[in-house]
Structure 1
Amino acid sequence: MLAALQRGIPLARRPFEELSRELGCGESELVAFAARMLKDGTARRFGAVFDARRLGYTSALCCATVAEPDAAALAIVGCKEVTHCYLREAPGCPNLWWTWSAPSGSFDASLAKVDIPFHVLPAVRRYKVDVMFGAATRATEESTVDSLPFPDETERRIIRALQGETELRSDYFSAIAEKVCVKEWDLLAILEMWRRQGRLKRIGLLLNHRKAGYSANGMCCFRIGGNVVEAGRALAELDSVTHCYERPACKAFPYNLYAMIHCASMDEAEAGFETLKSRLAALERPPSDSVMLISAKEYKKTSMSFYE
């Protein structure tokens, strides 16, 4: 049930009933399971996951080296553009990392809110995205995004209704449709269109990975001088990798391939890092250097709020 709820509910009038038939359980059992995950904190929300780029937003990973990370993080997490912020530790590496998302037209200007020296590391190519624990993670390779029309007011109301915590009920989409003043069939048609366009990734359960037993979070970074695409594809094939991106290298952090792993312990994380290194060592031109940064402290983790 956990894997299925993370992959997302079907776009149907009775989504939980349809999904429960596939799983061989009762609808009420499935809804109750999701509710328990939310109540005990194992899941952080049930709702939609959108592709920010296809909604007219730009997102980038940022990093800085700071002497007092708690104080620096306190100022950064107050910015609405920040969705994730972590203290990540490895000798000689930047220690404060955050994700910054803003409308594409104002993205560069919005970065002026950060008053410490920092580096912006946008994704050049995505090899694997959309973390799901205990379930198959989407392996997608993308470097460009198709141009899509800007959402109209009705579509923006739908996005706002689905991007936060939504109510678990058998007539899930009927309740959303009523809230945004559209007919249920029209809502489902819009969502199906977004799914085909790549705007909507899924509507489902989003886990709190630490509460779910994944307490060791490692960002594994590699310095690839050869074929980055080949290396990215090799890592994306591994079940242990939840995200994989190519990013520009910079003087402060000369690595250009990033892979995230989430493990139950530090020993597992170290073993996982060795597995990744072994996979890349088989390439014609293996990495010249690598490092794993462990997330020592989570300052902020939330979903992006669009059109607020």
Structure 2
Amino acid sequence: MRDELLVKMQHAFPLCERPFEALAQELGRTEEEVLEEVRRLKEEGIIRQTSAIFDTKRLGYDSSLVAFRVPEERIDEAAEIINAHPGVSHNYLRNHAFNIWFTLAVPPDSRLGLLGTVEKLAEAAGAEESIVLPTLKMFKISVKLDTTGKQSKKEKIREKALKPIRMGARHYAAVRELQKDIPIVSEPFADALERLNMGYDELFSLAEEMKEAGVMRRFATILNHRRAGFTANAMSVWDVPEEEAEALGRRIAEFRAVSHCYLRPKYPNWPYNLFAMVHAKSQEACDEIIGEIARETGLQGCGKLYSTREFKKKRLVYFDPAFQRWEEEALSD
């Protein structure tokens, strides 16, 4: 049951009154069996969190991938400084001269803005060089690890037409609750509904509306890759001609092992513009997938940046007062 359950929870966790009962019915199990298994997976650290995954930019935030070149003797201190920013959700040490890689988001009312925040972090962390790599085009963002080993190597990526939305107070209230990790109980949304003073129908209607507008990507379970058996991940980076970038990005995104695929800017000190994150159960398997991508696309200018340490990985907390507190402190220095 474990592997099938993890696949289902990663793809689309049921938004209903008793979601674990719904999963149990799909798996031919009892609700209590599923609850026990999920609790065990959570205790073992295989499941990180089950919550809504929102589109940062559609909530008005400015965000980017950022890389710092930090002297080796300052790496731990620099990572701690970067991690303290509430808009840093992922932070890794990678095997490159640009050794610290993190994602940064700042809210729409940020006084420093994204670039100002990067400058403050670079100065505090002692970075000798930095690059800001915003998304120019997103081809795929979907971390769904194949824990069964039964899925095909490729998947079709379909662009969904998004419906317009006018976000109101009830939508934002729902965002604040749906972004939280759910408790592993029969009715995990019950406490949220009490805080929101709304019923199941309204909450799930708001969630569906935000999903159709692209504000919410999906409601799903995020795994700890390493504890789930996917011990290697490589950020493969490719030097792609601008006129071919979109076609190549779409082809690379079809590889199931690729969780993220983006077009980003090039710089004199950074020649790569197409990024594809590859997850596998070993470095050899990652290398094999990247080699297959190269053979199928004819691309040669590739770099492979493996993560060697995970400094931080957590969901971004939207509309968190911690953003304002961080900026007030940074501006007072």
* TM-score between both structures, scaled by the size of structure 1: 0.89
- Give the whole-Å Cα distance in 1 for the aligned partners of 2:135 and 2:221: 25
Change (3 A) 1:141 1:118: farther
1:136-183 superposed Cα distances (whole Å, 9 cap, x missing partner)? 7883559x998754442x433322222232212222333321132222
**Deviating 4+ runs (over 6 angstroms):** 135-138, 144-147
Q: Unaligned stretches of 5+ in structure 1?
A: none
AA of the residue aligned to 1:258: F
- 2:120 corresponds in structure 1 to 113
What corresponds to 1:124 in structure 2? Answer: 136
Q: Is the 1:261–1:269 contact (alpha carbons within 8 Å) kept by the matching residues of 2? A: yes
User: 2: distance between equivalents of 1:71 and 1:296?
Assistant: 17
CA contact (8 A) 2:67 2:130 kept: yes
Aligned to 2:30: 26
Match of 1:13 in 2: 17
**CA distance, structure 2, for counterparts of residue 138 and residue 162 of structure 1:** 28
- Other-structure match for 1:193: 209
> 1:252 and 1:277 mapped to 2: Cα distance?
23
- Which stretch has the larger CA shift, 174-183 or 256-265? 174-183
Matched residue, 2:278: 261
Alignment partner for residue 72 of structure 1, among 66, 78, 90?
78
What is the identity percentage for the equivalent residue pairs of Structure 1 and Structure 2?
Answer: 30
Change in 2 beyond 3 A, CA 1:190/1:247: same
Q: 1:277 to 1:197 in 2, by over 3 A?
A: same
Instruction: Quote the offset at 1:87 in angstroms.
Output: 0.8
| Cα distance in 1, alignment partners of residues 65 and 165 from structure 2 | 24
Tell me the equivalent position of 1:57. 61
Distance in 1, matches of 2:172 and 2:120, equals 26
Cα distance change, pair 307–138 in 1 and its aligned pair in 2 (3 A): farther
2:65 & 2:171 partners in 1: Cα distance?
A: 28
Mapped to 2, the partners of 1:11 and 1:84 lie a distance apart of 27
Aligned to 2:176: 160
User: Per-residue displacement from partner, 1:198-225 (whole Å, max 9, x unpaired)?
Assistant: 2222223210101111111100000001
Residues 114-123 or 219-228, more deviating: 114-123
Deviates further, 245-254 or 126-135: 126-135
Distance 2:158 2:90 in 1: 22
> Which residue of structure 2 lines up, in the alignment, with residue 171 of structure 1?
187
2:314 paired residue number: 302
Of the candidates 279, 284, 297, which is equivalent to residue 280 of structure 1? 297
Name 2:331's counterpart in structure 1: none
**Structure 1 Cα separation of the partners of residues 30 and 138 of structure 2:** 37
1:18 CA displacement: 2.4
- Identify if the C-alpha distance between structure 1 residues 96 and 84 changes in structure 2 by more than 3 Å, giving closer, same or farther: same
- For residues 141 and 100 of structure 1, what CA distance do their matches in structure 2 show? 25
Unaligned runs of 5+ in 2: 321-333
User: How far apart are the structure 2 equivalents of 1:164 and 1:252?
Assistant: 39
Give the alignment partner of residue 218 of structure 1, picking from 220, 230, 234.
234
Q: What is the alpha-carbon distance in structure 2 between the residues aligned to residue 31 and residue 8 of structure 1?
A: 17
CA contact (8 A) 1:55 1:151 kept: no
The residue correspondences of 1:32-47 to structure 2 (distance < 5 A) are 32-47=36-51
1:234 paired to 2:251 = yes
- Pick from 157, 163, 173: which aligns with 1:139? 157
CA distance 1:25–1:5, change in 2 (3 Å): same
Task: Output one character per residue of 1:34-74: Cα deviation in whole Å (capped at 9) or x when no partner.
Answer: 21111110111122211112211122100121213223222
Residue aligning to 2:323: none
TM-score of the two chains, using structure 2 as the length reference: 0.83
Inter-partner Cα distance in structure 2 for 1:218 and 1:157 = 37
Q: Give the Cα–Cα distance (whole angstroms) in 1 for the partners of residues 7 and 60 of structure 2.
A: 30
Aligned length: 299
Letter of the structure 2 residue corresponding to residue 261 of structure 1? V
Q: Secondary structure of the residue that 2:303 maps to in structure 1? A: strand
2:47 and 2:221 in contact (8 A); partners too: yes
